[in-house]
Structures are given as structure tokens and as C-alpha cells.
Chain A
Amino acid sequence: MEISLNGNPHRFAGLNLVDLLAEHAIDQTKPGVAVAVNDSIVPRAEWATASLKPGDTVEIVRPHSGG
């Protein structure tokens, strides 16, 4: 399916956010990552059950340097 990932079109073969994060080698055991789907925050506990559907807009963020 085609989704939008961090502002870019992305072809995704998995089912849920656990699959998507694993596809990008993002360590899901460590804190410091947060995910929003269609502007709604998906808590970590729901990553495995949150199924993605075509057209979803996914944002994966983390802390960065800032003032």
C-alpha cells in the first residue's frame, strides 16, 4: 500500500506500526520515538495493533537539538 511517511510517499508491505518501524531499523525498545498517524498520536502500546491503511499519513519523530 501507498502511505505518506515523514512527508514522502512510501510503499509499505507490512500491517502496522511495529512493522513500519522495524522496516526502518528503529529500536522500539528504547524511549525517544513517537508516532502520529493522520495527526493523531499513537501511544507505543498500540503500535502493534494500529493497522495502517492506504493513504495514511505517518510521522515518526524523535528529540533533536533545540533551544
Chain B
Amino acid sequence: MSIQPTPPALSIAGENFGSALMAGTAGYPNRQVMLDALSASGAEIVTVSIRRVDLTGPRESLIDLLTGKYRLLPNTAGCATARDAVLTAGLAREALGTNWVKLEVVGDRETLYPDVEQLLKAAATLTEQGFAVLAYSNDDPITCEKLADMGCAAVMPLGAPIGSGLGILNPYNIETICRRLTTPIILDAGIGTASDAAFAMELGCSGVLLNTAIARADNPVGMAGAMRLAVEAGRAARAAGRIPKRLYAEASSPELGLIGS
């Protein structure tokens, strides 16, 4: 039997990673729990936001805690226009020395749904400026295809609204997006528990990005470990190929040789 090299769990913009899970850094009970949870998750890519320096308060630096251990993926969370998102991405590149950006342009504060018009505009500008754009998108195959065609490094459709924990509300769309595009698809937002993360991978996603599901769990470190296993299990199941769904039963034990026949 030949030994096959183990393929990387995730490849984005020419870089390989050993885990298909990306984790956020917000909302943990404290910094130590965050560090322990990130470690338990197996994630190699973690997201950060870009915010004004607090000129009055203490200045403990998040990147001192994370640099060297993780690839930091800055986001443009909170931006409502292409203009703000492009400026934030530029500031992130300057602050962190990375051309990777998780592009988020939201249309309103209640749903936090992407503003597709502004999102596409920002993605076009940023890809032109040489950014590796990981675009947070609606679970709409056409929008996702447009983002992929622009040259985004990854397209990240939402499973459900950010922080809702509702899981994958439209698995048909997620599967369609994964089937139609060769760009890595990362399920971003909506994950509530481990089975949601496994489901995303089973549907064909290349990875899963989550934050709240770990950070706000009763035991964030325990949930982080569960997410690591879920993503691995879902990826393995996808690779192994599930059976087709049937409407009726099909006996798995042999029909022949039954006693009394």
C-alpha cells in the first residue's frame, strides 16, 4: 500500500494550513480563556478587528498574545460602506503587515447582512490593490460567484446571521455554492454547535469560521475542542462520500437465509 501524503486541511491564497477551522477572538470571558480556547480549537487562522487606540485607558496589546502562534486575519467588521472597508483594510495591512483581509460590509445593524452592492464594490477595489480578500457574503450563489470571479481568495457565505447560532439555514444554497465554485468556500457566521460545523464541511465547504459559538459557550475551551473534532469529522465524511438519501427503507442485513422461510 502506498503512503499518500496528507493533503493540507485548508489552502488559501497559496498558503496551506493544518486546520480547516478559523476562530474569532471576541467575546470570551477573559483573555486566558480565549487563549486556551484558541489552542483547543486547533485553528491556525484567527480574526481580529481594527479599532481606534484607546488614548486614555490601559493598552494591553492583543497581537502580543497572538503573534507567532496564529496567522492574524483582520476584518472590516462594522463597516457599512465600501469606502470605510477599503480604508480599514489598508490600515490593517499597515498595522499587521498582512495583505489578507476578511471583508465585511454590512447593510444594517439588526441583521448584519452584507450590503451586496457595497461588498462587491469593496471587493473589486481590494483585489485590484493586491489584497487577498476573504469575503463575507450572503448565501447567494450568484453573489458568491461574482466575488470568486473578481479573484477573492475565499468566499465566505453566512450560515445564519452573525452571532445567532441558528446553524445553516439554507444548506441547499451552501451546497450549490460549493459545487459551482473552485474558490475556497468558508462557512462564516451562524454556527451554534459542533454538528453545524460538521454539516458545513459535509456540504463541501473548505473551512468554517466561527466565534460566538465557542466564546459564549458554557465552557468555551470544551466547545473549542468539539469544533476541532467536528470540522475534522465533517471533512473526513465529505471525502469518504456519503450514501445517497432514499425515501424508503432498504434492509442492510441479507434477505436470504432468514429462519422460518
The yes or no verdict on A and B being binding partners is: yes
A residues apposed to B, CB below 8 Å: 5-7, 24, 26, 30-36, 39, 41, 43-44, 59-67
How many contacts between A and B, using CB within 8 angstroms? 103
A-B contact pairs, 23 of them (CB 8 A): A5-B55, A24-B53, A31-B95, A34-B90, A36-B87, A41-B94, A43-B94, A44-B94, A60-B53, A61-B91, A63-B48, A63-B72, A63-B95, A64-B49, A65-B26, A65-B27, A65-B49, A66-B24, A66-B26, A66-B74, A66-B77, A67-B24, A67-B49
Contact assessment for B55 and A32 in the assembled complex, using a CB-CB cutoff below 8 Å: no
B50, B77, B162, B211: the one contacting A62 at CB < 8 Å is B50
Contact assessment for B87 and A41 in the assembled complex, using a CB-CB cutoff below 8 Å: yes
Residues of A within 8 A of B48 (CB): 63-66
Residues of A within 8 A of B97 (CB): 31
CB-nearest residue of chain A to B209: A67
Contact assessment for A6 and B55 in the assembled complex, using a CB-CB cutoff below 8 Å: yes
Contact assessment for B77 and A6 in the assembled complex, using a CB-CB cutoff below 8 Å: no
Bound form: Cα–Cα A14–B1 in Å: 71
Mark out the residues of chain B between 70 and 105 whose CB falls within 8 Å of any chain A CB in the assembled complex. Answer: 72, 74-75, 77, 87, 90-92, 94-97
Contact assessment for A59 and B27 in the assembled complex, using a CB-CB cutoff below 8 Å: no
Contact assessment for A64 and B90 in the assembled complex, using a CB-CB cutoff below 8 Å: no
As a 0/1 sequence over residues 41 to 75 of chain B, the CB contacts with chain A under 8 angstroms (1 = contact) are 00000011111110100010111100000001011
Contact assessment for B63 and A66 in the assembled complex, using a CB-CB cutoff below 8 Å: no
CB-nearest residue of chain A to B188: A67
Residues of B within 8 A of A30 (CB): 61
B residues apposed to A, CB below 8 Å: 24-28, 34, 47-53, 55, 59, 61-64, 72, 74-75, 77, 87, 90-92, 94-97, 162-163, 211-212
Bound form: Cα–Cα A35–B72 in Å: 19
CB-nearest residue of chain A to B95: A34
Residues of B within 8 A of A64 (CB): 48-51, 62
Contact assessment for B77 and A67 in the assembled complex, using a CB-CB cutoff below 8 Å: yes
Contact assessment for B63 and A67 in the assembled complex, using a CB-CB cutoff below 8 Å: no
Smallest distance from the beta carbon of A53 to chain B beta carbons, Å? Answer: 20
Contact assessment for B50 and A63 in the assembled complex, using a CB-CB cutoff below 8 Å: yes
Bound form: Cα–Cα A33–B52 in Å: 10
CB-nearest residue of chain B to A42: B94
Residues of B within 8 A of A60 (CB): 52-53, 55
Bound form: Cα–Cα A24–B54 in Å: 10
Bound form: Cα–Cα A62–B95 in Å: 7
Residues of A within 8 A of B52 (CB): 6-7, 59-61
Residues of B within 8 A of A65 (CB): 24-28, 34, 48-49, 62
Residues of A within 8 A of B87 (CB): 36, 39, 41
Among A5, A36, A59, A61, the most chain B Cβ lie within 10 Å of the Cβ of A61
Contact assessment for B94 and A32 in the assembled complex, using a CB-CB cutoff below 8 Å: no
Contact assessment for B63 and A31 in the assembled complex, using a CB-CB cutoff below 8 Å: yes
Bound form: Cα–Cα A30–B63 in Å: 10
Contact assessment for A67 and B91 in the assembled complex, using a CB-CB cutoff below 8 Å: no
